[in-house]
Structure 1
Amino acid sequence: MLNFVSIKEVKEVLGNWCKLERQRHQLTQSELAEILGMSRYTIQKFETGNNATLDTALKIAHHFDALDPLYKALKQQNDQNQTDSLY
């Protein structure tokens, strides 16, 4: 049986991760928003899985030191999927 992950599920996981990291660092939504140059509403929507833009996700990942591991995981996936040219 094939098992697919939906975009909605990924947005919800990202939002939950953001909320947990924010709380772990004892930040309010307003404080995180100010640090990142965003509105509190953007953070609120992101945490509920309703506004997971790539830019917002990357800024949040960068703030919580998760950008490097994310980059490495994606790069590794890309490297594994590359095929050698026949020419």
Structure 2
Amino acid sequence: MILDSLTVYDAKIHIAELSKVLRAYQGISQDQLAEDLDMSRVTIQNLERPKNVTLDTFLKVLERFELLEKFDSFILENIEDKNITPLY
């Protein structure tokens, strides 16, 4: 393993920072984001710590900040680059 390789924990830290930056940019609190997503504040706190983050929570945050399509495009581009046929 390369010493400078990205770890899962590093990615979770980046996701946490992304959520904080997006909230700050829009001037909303963790409480408001939680309310917008019909989640508890603790769920948002966990996302931003990072602790116990689920894919569902991350995707809902991306959707709330209108980044879900960009994330999905990234995934689809990688599938196409590898000439992989989706299973659905």
Compute the RMSD of aligned alpha carbons: 1.7
State the TM-score, normalizing by the size of structure 1.
0.88
Give the match for residue 9 of structure 1. 10
2:55 counterpart residue number:
54
Taking structure 2 as the reference length, what is the TM-score of the superposition? Answer: 0.87
Larger radius of gyration: 1
Q: Which runs of 5+ in 1 are unaligned?
A: none
CA shift, 1:83, in A, is 5.8
For 1:43 and 1:7, how far apart are their aligned partners in 2?
19
What letter is aligned with 1:42? T
Greater length-normalized contact order (CA 8 Å, ≥ 6 residues apart): 1
**How many corresponding residue pairs?**
84
Match of 2:28 in 1: 27
Residue pair 1:29, 1:40 contacting (<8 A) in 2 also: yes
Quick one: percent identity of the two aligned structures?
30
| Alignment partners' CA distance in 1, 2:84 and 2:60 | 32
Read off the aligned partner of 1:28 and give its amino acid letter: S
Q: Deviations over 1:42-81 (max 9, x none)?
A: 1011011113210000000000011011000110011111
